[in-house]
Structure 1
Amino acid sequence: MTAPHATMRIQFHAGFTFADMLPHLDHLRALGISHLYASPILKARAGSMHGYDMVDPAQVNPELGGEDALRALSEALRARGMGLIVDIVPNHMAVGGHENRWWLDVLANGRKSAFAGVFDIDWASPVPGLRGKVLVPFLGRPYGEALAAGEIRPTGGEAGSPIALRHFDHLFPLRPEDAEAVRCEGLAAYDPATPDGRGRLHALLERQHYRLAWWRAANDMINWRRFFDVSELAGLRVEDADVFKATHETLLRLYGEGVVDGFRVDHVDGLADPEAYCRRLRRRLAGLDPQRPPQAGTGRAYLVVEKILAPGEQLPRGWGTDGTSGYDFMNEVLLLLHARSGEASLDALWREISGDGRDFAAIEREARGELLERNFGASFEALCRAVALLLQADPAHRDHGMTSLRRALRGVLVCFRRYRTYEAGETGALDDAIARATADAHPADRDLTRLVGEILRDRDAPARRRRRAVLRKFRQLSVSLAAKAGEDTAFYRYGRILSRIDVGFDPGRLAAEDAFHETAKRRLATYPAALLATATHDHKRGEDLRARLAVLSEAPALWAGIVRSALADTEAGADGISRADRATLFQMIVGGWPLSEAPLSEVDRRGFADRLKTWQVKALREAKQHSSWESPDAAYEAAAAACIDRILDGASPAGAVLSATAQRIAPAGAVNGLAQCLLKLTAPGVPDIYQGCDLWDFSFVDPDNRRPVDWARRKASFAPGEPPARHLGAWRDGRVKQALIAAALAARASSPDVFATGRYDPLAAGGARQRHVLAFARSFRGRTAVTVVPRAVFAMLPDGGGLSFTDGAWDGTTVATGGPATAILRNVCDGRRFTGPSLDLGELFREFPVALLVNW
């Protein structure tokens, strides 16, 4: 396999199609990108902005231009020596509405549908009225109310069109025999406006293979697997060979024909057996390699998976993949950039503000317990029933009742801090969860909790077949619970420092300055072609916003004073907005404040305020404390929006102090951002640049991070071949970052083996500031590249707003190069040359705050 040199992730949708990307390919190539990395390309719901709501796996999305436009994009990439990687979504597809013919066929024909096996449906549900049926929870109000209001109506019949029922945008087909009967009787006989018609309509619905229900009923009653708790996305049974073939046929054909070169697998942990899936996909891809056209190149397909790794967890080696999609690297860099010295002060400040003395793990456990009951009640009950059936078959364990069994399983799920377990996987994290759940349980429940733990550990090979259904339900439920309780709930309740709260992070860990080298060496040994990401379509905060907020860990006393001052200033007009919500908002204002020395214009102020308001609504609803998606509190949200307006109105003392703070820490944040960028470009792995992030990225959570890219600005600002140091004086415009990317990727391109498979050697620093630098060498057959980046340098920068260190800041600190004294190293960041066995950091960083030195 020829791994990508560097990728750029592009979000395609109707407003930005394959054809729209063509004029920008030369810019990507000049920047140093080798592969375009596309969001999902298969047919999705009309108007989809992301493509994860697929409705037809057999078609390339017509809204993106269809297959012809995809081929044109691929050919244009090939002509430039570039390739194409595609995001694929094997876990789920969109249902409801009227666009998914597989789903509609299941509704019409029930278990006899040719597509009944595609979806993970429990046809034997014990829920009254659901045996042999599918719950369809898409009504906007309770069923009886929707029926009485005439919101469910017969439709069709004109010019031979099929008879069906409609509820706004949702189409509900009828059993073939019922459709014919309604056609003969006429639609008027089922008019819900009359009592007789309404009664006949209800009787008709009762005969169908589905049961219509209010959307709120889904969490307690649903009898099919969803993507998390989203009823519009139904789980797919890709573990079945026929389902795999039907959902992957088009994608595999495109690979075999040389249109695409690899895949990123979305949400691999949601699958019944991720290892079996990845191995099957790898085999199918390998079987297609001989037929790929010569212009597509040689070697195997590039294959990475979206996998959230918990602390200490590693991607299993036997899956046949090239690694993860890079959230783990994003976490590793941020652990490096934060200062552990600020942890106690930041802890104390958050306790003071929130009134909550618990650590993040406790907050997450609470969220897990809440969501297990509120959002995953039906899935949890299905797991409990499966375990109960297993126990009932064993005379030694048949006396355990459902109530105590629920308590035992709940305890384990609440305490389990990873996404899931795997076939033949290590069980250390599960052992920890079982031990904690057992200790927390009532004494009468402890033996049962241990018994449940033994089942979930799956150590008894002879019993494995009997336990298969239990393990699958546990694993797929634990994945959904981890994501929704962690990333989508607890992450929004805990605000110690937002730069340590993002996808794949453990917010309870602030810093790990010494861990970066170890994880880099491990990646080189195990997955040297894994993606390295620092920004994604799913991030909570942009890469440079996080880099700026990390500076607060270096100055916790300064930040505490600012927060207390801003809280006091906003108290009078807070209208009940909690101190914790306001303090979190303050961080977003400081982190996202636009990079301009001049005061914001009215247009910019309004734009910034609107973005903050959109973020705030999502943050409040995800936290589920003062508002939620299910029950929005309009008054609280309006008060929060008004608070933003008051802070940013230009006359607010809180606004003034927050904007001044943003300006004060912005230079150190920019140095962090450049360090983060260079680490991604030179550490083991394949650097991935999210669209638009070749300039500064201060985006918020989606939809903010999916805004249109200003390509004209990026192309106009780019000066190929110019050293990054030339743009240091005007660092706020972002060209300095763009130039660093181009320079580092040019170095990679000139000696690809150095960065793809070359050795990774940590370099020792000595002197007063040795804890403020990280350095390593990459080497291959006599060629060496040395990366040197500073960390925690807020106190080492001048007050004037520049990125050059103060005189004497490095106080004689040096880094050993590990090479001979006569070796000449050229710094690609400023063009200067250095010799000798060590580098004086004061001199090295004199013209640019990060360094990449090469000996060629």
Structure 2
Amino acid sequence: MAGAVYSRVREELLARGTPLSTYRVQLHKGFSFEDARRIVPYLVRLGISDIYCSPYLKASPGSTHGYDCVDHKQINPEVGSPAQHEAFCATVREHGLGQVLDVVPNHMGIETFNPLWFDVLENGPSSVYARFFDVDWHPVKDELAGKVLLPVLGDQYGVVLEKGELKLGFRDGAFVIHYYDRLFPVAPRQYGLILARGLGGLEVRLGLTNTHLIELQSILTAIRHLPERTETDRQRILERNREKEVIKRRLAALTAASPEVAAHIAANVEAINGKPGDPRSLDELDAILEGGSYRLAQWRVAGEEINYRRFFDINSLAAIRVEDPEVFAEAHQLIFEWLRKGQVTGLRIDHPDGLYDPTAYFLSLQERYFLERARALFEAEHARQAEQWPEVERRLRERWRAEAGANVDSPLRKALFVAVEKIQGGRERIPDSWAVHGTTGYRFANAVGGIFVQPNAEGMMTDTYHRFIGEAPNFEELVYEKKRLIMRDFMSSELNVLAHRLNRISELNRRTRDFTLNSLRRALMEFIALFPVYRTYVDNERPELDARDVRYIKDTLRHAKARNVTLNVTIFDFLGDVLLRRYPEHLGEHERAEMLAFAMKMQQVTGPVMAKGLEDTVFYVYQRMVALNEVGGEPENFGTSAAIFHERNHERAVHWPASMLTSSTHDTKRSEDVRARLNVLSELPEEWRQRVEHWSSLTRTHRSEMPEGPAPSLNDEYLFYQTVVGAWPMGGSLSGTALEEFRGRIRDYMLKAIKEAKVRTSWTNPDKDYEEGVSRYVEACLDEEKGRAFLADLLAFKRRIERPGQHNALGQLLMKLMSPGVVDTYQGCELWDLSLVDPDNRRPVDYAVRERMLRSLDEEAEKGRQELCTRLVADMTDGRIKLFVLAEGLRLRRRRQDLFRKGGYQALSLTGPRADAAVAFSREHGQSVVIAVAPRYTLSALESGGLAAAYEETSLELPASYASMTFRDVFTGQQVRPGRHGEGAVLPLSPLLVGFPLVLLEKE
């Protein structure tokens, strides 16, 4: 039976194709399952193959992103009910779409009620969920042994306590601590202190034979016999968990039955809460809190003493240990139910670099998916033999592991579509051992945008930036400094934990035991600050380490030694031995395991430090050309060469053909269209220099002079100009409500940007004077009266770069649509979208407008494609041309599925005066051939007679075999035949650009 089930499921899964295209929707209170269900027919018409949903497990109330899950076993009620989810999934399936779901395996939200976290706070190491969270129960600070540090208070603990802001409460048989809208549990053993207070008086009032009094005394006895909160024996943990709940139920029943006992408890609660201004009256409440499994503290101490792993430096997101099978099962229970039913067909995994062992995690996902699909088949066909499933499952698991688990080339290893949110720095690649289809596409977004940056402008753009701000920042040095800043001020506790762990390892060997804790900490800080990528993937699964990981580690150690001549360099050798699994021969298995665990824990730290230092700090400081400051970007490199773009596309076609291709996401700093417009600045660097100098003189009176320097600083002012130019809406001037709305968006963005930069203000140490000065500046510059001269000149410049910016946006869209991979569209980006970083990019999307436009485009195309294209090119302001390009490209992918899933990739060359001003490639599979050409650097062409005239002597070089083919222009519908030229074929570009600014040819 097991063999038959295995073969059937294997055949079914391997026959499935990967997505061709995805459309990302952000589900929250303002956009529910019902809203998503209504747009499904529109997505089908658009050409989408899979709807791609943000996380929708139960999250903190009001969450707009879903990454703060508080309960893995429930759907987010703000998004919809289980019935509405069923209806949504049914609609998706009925229309032939798949559903890719965003999954968060690394952390949970703990700011609001999370039953698992609440239990940990109540019971400490003795909680049944203690091992679910990555808590260090034996931290550096002895006072925190067996406790969780909770940095949630607005002031120092003693001040908050004595002001009466912490209140003891009682409800449903349980004692709790209130801190405004936050709720914390009281440790069950502390119930005895509260209930026994004034017990003698209650005995006198009720009499010793009173049944309610006897029940209360029995409850007190049960409390005294509870296992300690530090108990870690499994049976004692289960006993404590069971008995504490019995105590609560008995207390609830007793207070409901006895008004006297209820009054006794209420009086005690009131007395223990004390009186603000009388410190001694709060001693009992202090003692009750001290006896618990958490320690309340001011939020500022988090960076240095917090002892639970967080998502980056966000205190409200606690990391979970998904490497534990029990945690894995809990976190994925509902998700696998949806996968088993076929309601969800693919997963996007958030932040895999935060996982302890990503390789093992992805294998677990694929194995569990196979077993769940097998279970669905078994239940459907062998319902009467349900008792045999455990044995069948065991045999299926053994066969799967033999075929897929041990073979990285097995197609069964990737039966479930999985894309990972992995940022790749430099030449970094995702490990071949990962059972995934690729990344979510940050690398592609930067590459495709970068080909529209004119490299010749680098010198002048750099000089303009340096001259304007009066200094010449070095990008690599900035990254190093800001990573050190993050470790010093925001993630010092994580560094301390690593240092103490490494110190214990150094004590295992007489040759290393003399390394001091401080020197080890310094060495770790240097290594992490200099580490060039997000993380390595050292584990114990493979006999040999990945060669790239080894190179990154060795190079970093060499640089660290060169920079730290006063530090004993043998410390770096010791660190290298630990990270590279070079263990002394005399060490036993336990000691080796400790060293491996350190290396794997350290890998969980390098990623967050890089992300916070680079993306969330340097990208808001280094403003040379902010279009390059994108997630996964490399702003130190001025754009991307066509050769590198082609190289990465070819590599993806061969190794990761189902990796996602994106250009805008919910995380991007600027939308694809903002970046496309800003890239035009590289085509007129001298004009840009003149403009910023002129604008600075026009707005000088709006700046505020402060002792530390002007507000805004010159660096922030330079960011402001690029932001306004890039985000100004398509079309003409703004006034009234429209200008007010835009002004508010820019003001909010600038306030976020200067806090992220951490130079003059920050989230943790806000400088209100500086922030108000920047706000006043933005308000004045974008005021119809105060900023009249600035706005007029800005608008004139914006008009000049708008059209070539639109061409850039269309070009990068075409490149995305035709490149190897799964094309992703972020909600609303089918029309022009000039959004900035969140929350700006999460504004509501008007789908009614988009649906009407798409229907109109289809109707007009039926009447005459060339006439439609002429109209679209004549007026590009409303974005219909972008919607047209997207729909035609997606529909082509749907028509030629094998081509876009399996097709090869060939870069194409051009000849002629504008040979470098276009990027072209072909895709080929069997009899299917597609050619795509995107013009670039179009400003000069548009200002000197148009594209057709500019490309009159420029031609596309094609393989000789293409000369016998007939192609159809996907946009205009006209037929095209290449001509022979020498040993190959040639296709003049000018005739193709007469009717449309892009070339997309499909072999007929």
Q: TM-score, normalised by structure 2?
A: 0.82
Aligned to 1:593: 728
User: Which position in structure 2 is the counterpart of 1:198?
Assistant: 282
Superposition deviation, residue 120 in structure 1: 0.5
| Displacement after TM superposition at 1:732 (Å) | 0.8
Tell whether 2:140 aligns with 1:126.
yes
Shift of 1:314: 1.1
Q: Tell whether 2:331 aligns with 1:251.
A: no
Residue in structure 1 matched with residue 713 of structure 2 by the alignment: 578
Please show how residues 97-246 of structure 1 align to structure 2 within 5 Å.
Answer: 97=112, 99-157=113-171, 160-183=172-195, 185=197, 186-193=268-275, 194-246=278-330
The residue that corresponds to 1:848 in the other structure is 996
Q: Which residue of 2 aligns with 1:810?
A: 951
Give the 3 Å change call, closer, same or farther, for CA 210–163 of structure 1 in structure 2. Answer: same
CA contact (8 A) 1:55 1:95 kept: yes
Residue 356 of structure 1: CA displacement?
Answer: 2.9
In structure 2, how many angstroms separate the alpha carbons of the residues matched to 1:568 and 1:435? Answer: 47
Aligned partner of residue 731 in structure 1, secondary structure: coil
CA distance in 2, matches of 1:354, 1:259: 54
Separation in 2, partners of 1:794, 1:428? 43
Equivalent residue runs for 1:267-306 within 5 Å: 267-292=351-376, 300-306=415-421
Q: Is the 8 A contact 1:567 1:579 kept in 2?
A: no
Counterpart Cα distance in 2 of 1:460 and 1:751: 53
Superposed displacement of residue 71, structure 1:
1.4
Summarize deviations over 1:426-459 as a string: whole Å, max 9, x none: 2222322222111110244323223323322335
1:776 maps to a residue whose letter is F
How far is 1:161 from its partner? 4.1
CA RMSD of aligned residues (A): 1.8
Q: How far did residue 473 of structure 1 move?
A: 2.6
Query: For the residues of structure 2 that align with 1:418 and 1:748, how far apart are their CA atoms?
Result: 34
Residue 563 of structure 1 corresponds to 692
DSSP 3-state at the match of 1:786: strand
What does residue 664 of structure 2 align with?
Answer: 535
CA separation in 2, counterparts of 1:774 and 1:843? 17
Cα distance change on mapping 1:735 and 1:154 into 2, 3 Å: same
Counterpart check, 1:362 vs 2:455:
no
Q: Quick check: 1:49 aligned with 2:64?
A: yes
Q: What does the per-residue CA deviation read over 1:274-312, in whole Å, with 9 as the maximum and x for residues that have no partner?
A: 1111111111112223345799xx993211110000121
Asked whether the equivalents of residues 947 and 993 of structure 2 are also in contact (C-alpha less than 8 Å), the reply is: no
| C-alpha contact (below 8 Å) 2:93/2:343 kept by paired residues | no
Equivalent position of 1:32 in the other structure: 47
Please tell me the residue identity of whatever aligns with 1:844: L
- Counterpart check, 1:788 vs 2:800: no
Answering whether residue 766 of structure 2 is matched by residue 643 of structure 1, we say: no
Contact kept? 1:824, 1:834, Cα under 8 Å: yes
In structure 1, the residue corresponding to 2:143 is in which secondary structure? Answer: coil
Name the structure 2 match of 1:829: 971
Q: Secondary structure at the match of 1:179?
A: helix
Report the equivalent of 2:384.
none
Q: Does 1:84 align with 2:220?
A: no
Post-superposition CA distance 1:507-549 (Å, at most 9, x none) = 1111221211110010011110111110000010011000000
Retained in 2: the 8 A contact 1:104–1:173? Answer: yes
The range that moved more, 722-731 or 128-137, is: 722-731
1:437 corresponds to which residue? 560
CA contact (8 A) 2:473 2:622 kept: no
SS of alignment partner, residue 507 of structure 1 = coil
List alignment gaps of at least 5 residues for structure 2: 1-15, 198-267, 381-411, 539-544, 705-709, 979-984
Instruction: Report SS of the residue matched to 2:702.
Output: coil
The corresponding residue for 1:466 is: 594
| 1:607 aligned partner | 741
Please tell me the residue identity of whatever aligns with 2:625. I
Please report how far the alpha carbon of residue 197 of structure 1 lies from its aligned counterpart in structure 2 after TM superposition: 3.4
The SS at the match of 1:420 is coil
The one-letter amino acid paired with 2:627 is S
Unaligned runs of 5+ in 1: none
Q: Output the amino acid matched with 1:614.
A: D
Paired with 2:896 and 2:775, the residues of 1 have a C-alpha distance of 52
Pair 1:376 & 2:491 matched: yes
Residues 22, 50 of structure 2: 8 Å contact kept: yes
The CA deviation at 1:670 is 0.5
1:180–1:72 distance in 2 versus 1, CA, 3 Å: farther
How far apart are the structure 1 equivalents of 2:326 and 2:752?
39
Q: Give the Å deviation of 1:614.
A: 0.9
Aligned to 1:657: 793
Aligned residue pair count: 846
Residue 703, structure 1, aligned to residue 717, structure 2: no
**How far is 1:644 from its partner?**
1.5
Q: Distance in 2 between matches of 1:492 and 1:603?
A: 29
Partner residue of 1:501?
A: 629
Shift of 1:182: 2.1
Amino acid aligned to 1:781: G
**Hey, what's the Cα distance between the residues in 2 that align with 1:192 and 1:251?**
47
* Alignment check: 8 A CA contact 2:947 2:990 kept: no
Deviation string 1:776-807 (CA, Å, 9 cap, x unpaired) is 111111110111111222211127xxxx8255
Q: Secondary structure at the match of 1:337?
A: coil
Deviation at 1:758, TM superposition (A): 0.7
Assess if the C-alpha contact under 8 Å between 2:969 and 2:1000 holds in 1: yes
Query: What is the CA–CA distance in structure 2 between the aligned matches of 1:196 and 1:389, rounded to whole Å?
Result: 42
Indicate the structure with greater helix content. 2
Question: Within 2, Cα distance between the matches of 1:339 and 1:784?
Answer: 30
Aligned to 2:17: 2
- Larger displacement relative to structure 2 (840-849 or 531-540): 840-849
Residue 679 (str. 1) matches residue 815 (str. 2): yes
Q: Which deviates more from structure 2 when the two are superposed, residues 225-234 or residues 826-835?
A: 826-835
1:152/1:192 contact within 8 Å kept: no
- Indicate how the Cα distance of structure 1 residues 720 and 31 shifts in structure 2: closer, same or farther if over 3 A, else same: farther
Q: Which residue of 2 aligns with 1:350?
A: 465
Amino acid at match of 1:812: E
Amino acid at match of 2:176: A
Q: Which of residues 448, 452, 462 in structure 2 aligns to 1:337?
A: 452
Between stretches 743-752 and 538-547, larger displacement belongs to 743-752
Distance 1:728 1:467, change over 3 A: same
Letter in 2 for 1:853: L
Q: 5 Å matches for 1:732-751?
A: 732-751=877-896
Distance 1:720 1:600 in 2: 28
1:317 deviates by 1.2
Which residue among 750, 758, 765 is the counterpart of 1:616? 750
How far apart are residue 760 of structure 1 and its match? 0.7
Mapped partners of 1:520, 1:781: distance in 2 = 19
| Separation (CA, whole Å) in 2 of partners of 1:846 and 1:505 | 35
2: CA distance, partners of 1:820 / 1:475: 50
Q: Is the 8 A contact 2:947 2:997 kept in 1?
A: no
Separation in structure 2 between the aligned mates of residue 479 and residue 783 of structure 1, nearest angstrom: 42
Contact kept in structure 2, 1:777 and 1:817, CA below 8 Å: no
Is 1:758 matched up with 2:910? Answer: no
* Mean CA deviation greater in 174-183 or 769-778: 174-183
SS in 2 for 1:63: coil
Shift of 1:60: 1.3
Separation in 1 of the partners of 2:597 and 2:964? 65
Q: Name the SS of the counterpart of 1:486 in structure 2.
A: helix
State whether residues 622 and 629 of structure 1, in contact with CA within 8 Å, keep that contact through their aligned partners in structure 2: yes
Distance in 2 (CA, whole Å) between partners of 1:838 and 1:656 is 46
Compute the TM-score of the two structures, normalised by the length of structure 1. 0.96
- Deviation, 1:652, is 3.3
In structure 2, how many angstroms separate the alpha carbons of the residues matched to 1:84 and 1:261? Answer: 5
